A and B are shown apart, each in its own frame.
Chain A
Amino acid sequence: MKPAVILFPGSNREQDAVRALRLVAGAKPQVVWHAEHELPPGTDLVVLPGGFSYGDYLRCGAIAARANIMDAVRAHAAKGGLVLGICNGFQILCEAGLLPGVLVRNARLRFVCREVLLRVERADTAFTKAYRKSDLIRIPVAHGEGNYTADESTIARLEHDGRIAFRYARRDGQIDETDGPNGAINGIAGIYSEKFNVLGMMPHPENYIEPEIGPTDGRGLFESLAGALKAA
């Protein structure tokens, strides 16, 4: 497994991503500056970390999505390479056109920093094999713009193709849009690309990996990636 974690000016969770990849997946991630034109040779996973790239100027992720390195990330994704965007990384993937839709201001206008329950919508992708379908996992969120939206036909297509990765759920496993942290349509917390090799998600699995800190439900995502890339 050879992950590359992209660093933009204003990223601030890149070391959390690096730590999770090291501790859980046993990888040696390389941090790659956004102005580079190429990924390190042999890169098999690109992680776009959380933070506030370019201070969220213009729109969240808008300027980072046009950085030099994004052409290489696009080429990597087009070849079927794995890409994971967390929080600001998800916003960047949407702005870059690698995922459809957009993340707008939370419905209640407040920055939300707390634990949420996520329902794992499918457990057959490179990102989720270590989970079971419909598992409810505890993962933290920390964002002001996590309200996922897209036009009706895009949402219908995502739902039809099973491209919802995670939804904000209640304890009984039901989805309650109005009760979620940000008002995202259909409780969407994360989505896949058409070929399921790109995942964007608002919650931070990299922050729930160590029992000293709290729940460890985030480990499954990194275990899944380690498994997928070892097998490859």
Chain B
Amino acid sequence: MKARVIVTLKSAVLDPQGKAIEGALRSLGVAGVQSVRQGKVFDVELAGNDRASAEGALKDACDKLLANTVIETYKVEFAE
């Protein structure tokens, strides 16, 4: 089973890298960019086909390692 974990900064946390990218896009003349926040994507392959247990495992992975929940939140998506 394939899943994608998306880790992003909480909205209250400043993201200087996102700001720098936002500025760079503006200076490149990309139209209409209002703001940019940077995050991380993890594509994970899991054994078996049980979605509930996969969700449990990925939550465990996020809480233990993939996200620092002091500043980040995460969500999990499954490939259809």
Which A residues are within 8 Å of any B CB, using their own CB? 58-59, 62-63, 66, 94-95, 100-102, 104-109, 149-151
Contact = CB atoms under 8 A, between A and B. Distances in A.
Interface of B: 13-14, 16-17, 20, 64-66, 68, 70-71
B18 to A, nearest CB: 10
Interface of B: prevailing SS:
helix
Given A62-B68, A109-B20, 17 more contacts: A62-B65, A63-B65, A66-B65, A94-B70, A95-B68, A100-B70, A101-B70, A102-B68, A102-B70, A104-B71, A105-B17, A106-B16, A107-B14, A109-B16, A109-B17, A149-B71, A150-B70
Contact of A58 (B13, B16, B65): B65
9 contacts: A59-B68, A62-B65, A63-B65, A95-B68, A101-B70, A104-B71, A106-B16, A107-B16, A151-B70
A101 B20 CA distance: 24
Nearest to B20: A109
Contacts of B16: 105-109
Closest 7 CB pairs of A and B: A102-B70, A109-B16, A102-B71, A105-B16, A102-B68, A59-B68, A107-B16
